[in-house]
Amino acid sequence: MFRWKRRGLWAAGLVLALALAGCGGGSAGPTSTGPGPGGQGAQAPGAPAASGDVTLTVALSADPPKLDPHLSTAAVDRLVMNNIYDKLVDLDENLKVVPELATEWQISPDGTVYTFKLRQGVKFHDGTEFNAEVVKFNFDRMLDPALNSPRRNEISMVKEVRVVDPYTVEIHLKNPFTPFLGILTDRAGMMVSPAAVQQYGDLLEHPVGTGPFKFASRTKGDSITLVRNEDYWQEGLPKASKVVYKVITDGNVAVANLQSGTVDILETRTIPDKLLPQLRQNPNLTVSVTPGLGHMGIWLNVTQPPFDNKWLRKAVDAAIDRETLVRVVFGEAATPAGSPFPPADPYHDGYLPKRDLSKAREYLARGGKPDGFSFTLSIGTGPEPEQVATVIQSMLAEVGIQVNIQKLEFGKLLDDLDNLRHQAGLLGWSGRAEADQNIYDFHYTNGGVNQSGYSNPELDQLLDRSRVVTGEERKEVFRQVMAILREDVPYVYLYYPANKLAYRNNVVGLVNHPDGMIRLENVTKR
């Protein structure tokens, strides 16, 4: 199960690399079947697209826990929120930062002041106006310690936000911050309605943005319904009149619903990898598999036994055969991982831990447990996390480490890990184009998603430095960061998942974005 959130710009070469490099085992690049260029569901010239009363039904692998972008930490939240909230800036399908609510921006020569010109005539779903005061409100809210927002660390470099005029805002930073624009392409850039916050306190169950679709209703554990924002600032959008997100935690059931036509779209987490060949053979479906940005692994809680013992953490890490894990469970849909930076990332260093049982036994002895030990591994529901956990359980058993698998509802899993009520937790990250968002908050002391409880002042200093340097110097800083993390092992990196989409052939306009988010404003049906 992934915390595909949470949680920039890569170098220009990365864009090319994403287009050319494959993420699936042995795959040389994106694979697809079905209509449209590259299997992306692009509408053929002259093909009629339905207008008016069109409902898109999308399967979700879990019930989104929090629909407030300033409080959310789960990727499944983002899948919904990307269609409710607009951001100051967004990423296009080539990972280029593009305007959204901000039409243009300038950066001061010293890199500490970002001036944004804002789009005029935009209204929130509650009818209130979007303007510079709203931007200031959103940043002040995220930075307010009382809210305890996971975004606070992401934008901790913000010193103040100044309203220049109704549609111009200056964001002043404490120091130059390389990842800032990239961070604003995700939840930190999503603008919420101040009036709605005043009314509800939080927007967990009452999301109000300026996006193409408005929140209509929710049945917990079953579905979320959005309806067209008739006053959307992009003329002619959205093309569909309604979006229904169906919570289907069993991938086999999700596939059956797609094949029967009950569901229109499946995204990565609802598609069992073993069923990809079956989906490709269905003439009524389009399948797309492309490189992703995320990683998957195991959080080890260093604040309590047994993983307050570094040597036991290292023993777990050494006993896992990542290549076998990927081959058995995922095939083409993942590659083995040794860091938070996927192969196309310029900071990917090619390191892949090799299974070494003699080393694992040595670490057990140094940790005072020569005969092994036991621990509980918390996982989400569904066949994929269970398959991964079972393979790991078998591998660790060879050196006397007993793994007790505990299956939890996704919201409960997140809550336990957020509050360090676990021994170990299988949880991934959907990845971001900006490297900072793949590592900083995860391992910085008291980071917003530091679910190991790990704290290392030397690492903190390096991570802070990575935010102000560029080029080869930044690459060297990340090399030092990874050397520390590989020695201390607060997190066991397992694999890099690919992005998968499967959808009915009558769905047009759907693009498989590298960030794994499904943007629906241009999507409709023939």
Nearest to 90 by CA among 503, 522, 472: 522
For the entire predicted model, the pTM comes to 0.73
Output the domain CATH number for residue 451.
Answer: 3.10.105.10
* Judgement on whether residues 366 and 515 belong to the same structural domain of the protein: no
Tell me if 138 is assigned to some domain: yes
Contacts 24+ apart (CB under 8 A), 143-150: 147/70, 147/71, 149/70, 149/71, 149/448, 150/6, 150/7, 150/70, 150/71, 150/72, 150/73, 150/441, 150/448, 150/449
Q: How far is CA 103 from the centre of its chain?
A: 25
Point out the residues of the chain with pLDDT beneath 70. 1-52
CB 407 within 8 A of CB 379: yes
* Judgement on whether residues 253 and 270 belong to the same structural domain of the protein: yes
Q: How many structural domains compose the chain?
A: 2
Tell me if 2 is assigned to some domain: no
Structure tokens given for 80: 């919904």
Q: Going by C-beta distance under 8 Å and a sequence separation of 6 or more, which residues neighbour residue 416?
A: 378, 408, 422, 425
Name the amino acid, one letter, at 464. Answer: D
pLDDT of residue 470: 86
SS (H, E, C) 205-244: CCCCCCCCEEEEEEECCCEEEEEECCCCCCCCCCCCCEEE
CB 355 within 8 A of CB 384: no
- Using one digit for the tens of pLDDT, what is the confidence trace for 440-492? 999 999 998 999 999 999 999 999 999 988 889 999 999 999 999 999 999 99
* Judgement on whether residues 256 and 334 belong to the same structural domain of the protein: no
* Judgement on whether residues 256 and 354 belong to the same structural domain of the protein: no
Name the amino acid, one letter, at 272. Answer: P
Tell me if 506 is assigned to some domain: yes
pLDDT of residue 516: 86
- Using one digit for the tens of pLDDT, what is the confidence trace for 32-75? 344 333 333 333 333 444 456 999 999 999 999 999 999 998 88
Query: Using CA atoms, how far apart are residues 323 and 217, in angstroms rounded to an integer?
Result: 43
* Judgement on whether residues 221 and 330 belong to the same structural domain of the protein: no
Q: Give the SS3 label for residue 21.
A: coil
pLDDT of residue 51: 53
pLDDT of residue 1: 46
Q: Give the SS3 label for residue 282.
A: coil
Query: Using CA atoms, how far apart are residues 424 and 402, in angstroms rounded to an integer?
Result: 13
Q: What are residue 226's DSSP bridge partners?
A: 215, 243
* Judgement on whether residues 190 and 337 belong to the same structural domain of the protein: no
Tell me if 18 is assigned to some domain: no
* Judgement on whether residues 239 and 381 belong to the same structural domain of the protein: no
DSSP track, 155-192: TTTEEEEEEEETTEEEEEESS--TTHHHHTTTGGGBPP
- Using one digit for the tens of pLDDT, what is the confidence trace for 257-274? 999 999 999 999 899 888
Tell me if 445 is assigned to some domain: yes
* Judgement on whether residues 115 and 184 belong to the same structural domain of the protein: yes
Structure tokens given for 525: 């049906």
Tell me if 63 is assigned to some domain: yes
Output the domain CATH number for residue 253.
Answer: 3.40.190.10
Query: Using CA atoms, how far apart are residues 300 and 427, in angstroms rounded to an integer?
Result: 11
* Judgement on whether residues 423 and 344 belong to the same structural domain of the protein: yes
Query: Using CA atoms, how far apart are residues 252 and 386, in angstroms rounded to an integer?
Result: 14
* Judgement on whether residues 481 and 508 belong to the same structural domain of the protein: no
* Judgement on whether residues 184 and 102 belong to the same structural domain of the protein: yes
Tell me if 34 is assigned to some domain: no
* Judgement on whether residues 246 and 337 belong to the same structural domain of the protein: no
pLDDT of residue 282: 97
Structural domain boundaries, residue 203: 51-290+499-526
Query: Using CA atoms, how far apart are residues 56 and 40, in angstroms rounded to an integer?
Result: 16
Tell me if 480 is assigned to some domain: yes
